[in-house]
Amino acid sequence: MSRTVQITFDAADPNGLAEFWNQVLGYTFQPPPDGFDTWDDALDRWGVPEEDRNMASASIDPDERGPRRGSRAATSGWPRSRPSASASWPSAAVESDAPSRLPR
């Protein structure tokens, strides 16, 4: 059974934090969506203003062993003391006893 895990950290500088962890973990920035050569091309097409382009960042393990790693801009007045994580399993793998099989 495959599963997808993502770990996300709040940060004052999401791209800077992602670059740091990319170097530490050997990760790379997630490639832009199909049809775009760069993230700036995609964000230009979607009308995202330049001042909002450091609101989030995502990195992936090029060996596909580690979780997807995200950084997002921390909202003022709402600091988090811990990262958030999410996981998803294919719908065919979800059975009535699925919660008992989840890691704790």
Separation of CA 96 from chain center: 29
Domains of the chain: 4-77 (3.30.720)
Q: Are 56 and 14 in contact (CB under 8 A)?
A: yes
The answer to whether the pTM exceeds 0.85 is no
Between the alpha carbon of residue 88 and those of residues 1, 56, 57, 70, 94, the distances in Å are: 11, 21, 20, 16, 10
pLDDT tens digits, 12-23: 889 999 999 999
26: left (phi over 0), alpha (psi -120 to 50) or beta: left
Over the stretch 5-49, which tens digit does the pLDDT of each residue have? Answer: 788 888 888 999 999 999 999 999 999 999 999 999 999 999 999
